[in-house]
Amino acid sequence: MNRLERFSTIFLIAGFCFFIMALLALGIAPALMTSGIPEDGGMPKEIPAEFQVYYKDLNEYHEALFLGRDIYIKEACWHCHSQYVRPVGGESMMYGAVSTPGEYENLLNRPHLFGTRRVGPDLTREAGKKSNDWHFAHLYDPRSTTPNSVMPGYTWYYDESTNPPTPKKEAIAVVAYLQQLGSWVKDGKRTVHDLNEVTLPPAEE
């Protein structure tokens, strides 16, 4: 065995060890940590009053949050929006304190949707920033609330035979999801945000 061959053996073994280390650190350790979270970890304990029109019980409401999350993934909202306040560039002046791991300890964050691009604003603590009505109008036609917005309108989640268009189950789920984002951490403790003084369009039958 010449010298070069010995080195390549060392590199091969080192490479294998690094692979195992990465698997432990990024695959197995996080899986062990999240499995320790109770089934309702971080999920709201009550339905905000306004959403009670649509969701009879907490299970339905939780289902809607997950439907909203799935649509957020399916429509690639994460391609333009991050859910992570980074410790750089004075971001905390714009979005509040830098995100902490505790904020992601809930089922809605499996998988986490940190995102990398910021075509639109960070949504990690979107809950309660806007009214439901604002979200319904914005999701249908972003330029109706924000002139010059480059965000596309998600018109297919609305029944367009009415005037104004009525949000379908999916649009309601997306808004429920958005209004929940980050509501679990306010002033360091988990809360269900207050959605009082918000009117909703009539419920879908």
Shorter beta-carbon distance to ligand HEC: residue 21 or 119: 119
Number of residues that bind ligand HEC (CB under 6 A): 23
Instruction: Answer positive or negative: Cα dihedral of 164, 168, 170, 176.
Output: positive
115 and 79 Cβ atoms separated by less than 8 Å:
yes
122 and 85 Cβ atoms separated by less than 8 Å:
yes
15, 87, 102, 121: residue in contact with ligand HEC (rule CB under 6 A): 121
Q: Binding to ligand HEC by residue 77, rule CB under 6 A?
A: yes
Alpha carbons 172 and 52: distance in angstroms, whole number: 12
Q: Binding to ligand HEC by residue 154, rule CB under 6 A?
A: yes
165 and 155 Cβ atoms separated by less than 8 Å:
yes
Q: Binding to ligand HEC by residue 190, rule CB under 6 A?
A: no
Q: Binding to ligand HEC by residue 142, rule CB under 6 A?
A: yes
Residue 158 tokens read as: 């609305």
Q: Which residues form the interface with ligand HEC (CB under 6 A)?
A: 72, 75-77, 79-81, 119-121, 123, 126, 129-130, 142, 146, 149-152, 154, 174, 178
